[in-house]
Structure 1
Amino acid sequence: MILPKRAMLALCLAVLPLPGLAKELTEAEIKQLVYEAILERPEIIMQAVEKLQREQEAASAGAAQTVLENNRDTLERDPNAPVLGNPEGDVTVVEFFDYNCPYCRRAMATVQGLLKDDANVRLVYREWPILGDGSVFAARAALASRKQGKYEEFHWALMGMQGRATEASVIRIARETGLDVERLRRDMDAPEVEEHIATSMALSRKLGFNGTPSFVIGDNLVPGFVEQPQLYELVNQAREAAK
């Protein structure tokens, strides 16, 4: 990290205070004192950088929590988002995912295990197709399948497929799942499909997510793949916090 000179000066003064003197000295005198201090204690530079990083991380965390609270209803209770697991569950897990994301596919078994082991989890899916045209086609098809009552079955089939999700592979799996493909294609252009994807894009940007999978569990924003023990622990934390 390269800091502007004034920022470095301020940070050095913070980690090496000059009691009662700073406001009486000129800027040139302060710079000379800091320069001499750095020569004597070069570790001041690292202390200054670490202090700045801690402050930036705290500020980012606070901003993310504010965004989370302001958007919690949309994240957890959007009627236009698919819900798996227990619709009345006491803990909501929100997953942003892409059908062409290998880590999302890897997370499938972990998420399925959670739903099997914990009957009080609501799983809200945010289709977030960011890995190309195939991802967009798959997301639209999956959302459209809701009108035929086959979202969950189709979702797991797409997530467990071999190779990339493309128009051809998605349509093949749709037929295997028993979907009316002609109707599916028509429903893919429905306004609610476009709205869901647009909302996912907006929410992910606000929350600072930059890749899939990403999870929201209680007050925790969790970017990236989550191992099963960590996922279970985050769910338990959310449950305890809600009591």
Structure 2
Amino acid sequence: MKTILKQRTFTWMSLFMMSLSINAVQAATLPQATEKKINDITQMLHDNPQVVDNLHESLQRYIQQTSQLETVIQQNENYLYHNPNHPSYGAKNPDLTIVFFTDYSCPWCKKLDPVLHELVVKYPQLKVVDILIPLKEMNSSANSATFALNIWQNKPDAFSQTSQLLIKKPGSHDARSLLQVAKKTDTVALLDEQDDIQKQVNKNYQLFAQLGLQGTPALLIDGEIIPGYLPIEKLEPIIKAKLEK
């Protein structure tokens, strides 16, 4: 996924630079290094005109996808950022909110979760919102997402312990593993599926698809999608840059 993102970024940059006219480049106040890159890319396009048509098509597709992403975020801002039905932690009045698309049966989600908790401790102006999506349990009537959401909304004092136990288990969850967690947290009654919780999970799926996401984990930070797992040494600079804007 990260490779695909890098390829898209490179294609977009190439196309964007191609679309700039020489006069526009000269009129703009750009760092010298940036101007050199623009000139280099322009020359490469002139030397390889056979790639122009494909690049032009890719740019149009990228612009459409970007526009769709912005539209989906704007239309669902309250649902993503201000919905008390989603598990969340961190600042009550955050300077920056991280939306975390996660799955309790995803090993990389389990690895990223403590990274986000560490960042919230280091940067108290941060907030994290979990959008639970049971991709690996799609065919199960009861799953870790509906179970966790049921606890968050009906027995919040038990949520932290429940969430940690769900994360701690290696591999995917099933009815047996969920029952074990429920017994340890005295939440067996909350294993039962509820219509409103299932509707929320369905909505999570819908947004996941509309945002063009293909797997978990994925982060939505200040309008930017960051797919896949990142260790703290790579994610922290992104967070610091966003906070300093």
| Structure 1 residues 234 and 195: alpha-carbon distance in aligned structure 2, compared to 1, 3 A threshold | farther
Tell me which of 210, 219, 242 is aligned to 1:215.
219
Check the 8 A contact 2:106/2:171 in 1, yes or no.
Answer: no
**Which residue number in structure 2 is paired with residue 131 of structure 1?**
136
Aligned amino acid, residue 94 of structure 1? V
1:203, distance to aligned residue in structure 2 (A): 1.2
Aligned amino acid, residue 98 of structure 1? D
Aligned amino acid, residue 147 of structure 2? A
Aligned amino acid, residue 68 of structure 1? I
Are 2:167 and 1:148 aligned? Answer: no
Are 2:87 and 1:82 aligned? Answer: yes
TM-score between both structures, scaled by the size of structure 2: 0.72
Q: Structure 2: how far apart are the matches of 1:163 and 1:205?
A: 24
**Which residue number in structure 2 is paired with residue 203 of structure 1?**
207
Q: Structure 2: how far apart are the matches of 1:59 and 1:90?
A: 29
Aligned amino acid, residue 169 of structure 2? M
Q: Structure 2: how far apart are the matches of 1:135 and 1:237?
A: 42
Q: SS where residue 208 of structure 2 aligns?
A: helix
Q: Deviations over 1:89-148 (max 9, x none)?
A: 221111111111121112123112212212121111111111124695111111122222
Q: SS where residue 170 of structure 1 aligns?
A: helix
**Which residue number in structure 2 is paired with residue 104 of structure 1?**
109
**Which residue number in structure 2 is paired with residue 193 of structure 1?**
197
Check the 8 A contact 2:142/2:175 in 1, yes or no.
Answer: no
1:77, distance to aligned residue in structure 2 (A): 0.6
**Which residue number in structure 2 is paired with residue 70 of structure 1?**
75
Aligned amino acid, residue 52 of structure 1? E
The percentage of counterpart residues that share the same residue type is: 21
Are 2:225 and 1:239 aligned? Answer: no
Aligned amino acid, residue 43 of structure 1? N
| Structure 1 residues 160 and 102: alpha-carbon distance in aligned structure 2, compared to 1, 3 A threshold | same
Tell me which of 68, 89, 94 is aligned to 2:99.
94
Q: Structure 2: how far apart are the matches of 1:138 and 1:158?
A: 8
| Structure 1 residues 135 and 151: alpha-carbon distance in aligned structure 2, compared to 1, 3 A threshold | farther
Q: Structure 2: how far apart are the matches of 1:138 and 1:232?
A: 28
CA radius of gyration, larger in: 1
1:47, distance to aligned residue in structure 2 (A): 2.9
Q: Deviations over 1:52-74 (max 9, x none)?
A: 22332233222212221222221
Structure 1 alignment gaps of length 5 or more: 1-13, 16-40
Aligned amino acid, residue 142 of structure 1? A
**Which residue number in structure 2 is paired with residue 165 of structure 1?**
173
Q: SS where residue 88 of structure 1 aligns?
A: coil
Check the 8 A contact 1:80/1:192 in 2, yes or no.
Answer: no
Check the 8 A contact 1:135/1:165 in 2, yes or no.
Answer: no
Aligned amino acid, residue 189 of structure 1? E
TM-score between both structures, scaled by the size of structure 1: 0.73
Structure 2 alignment gaps of length 5 or more: 1-17, 20-45
What is the aligned-residue RMSD (CA, Å)?
A: 2.5
**Which residue number in structure 2 is paired with residue 179 of structure 1?**
186
- Provide the aligned length of Structure 1 versus Structure 2: 199
Aligned amino acid, residue 112 of structure 2? A
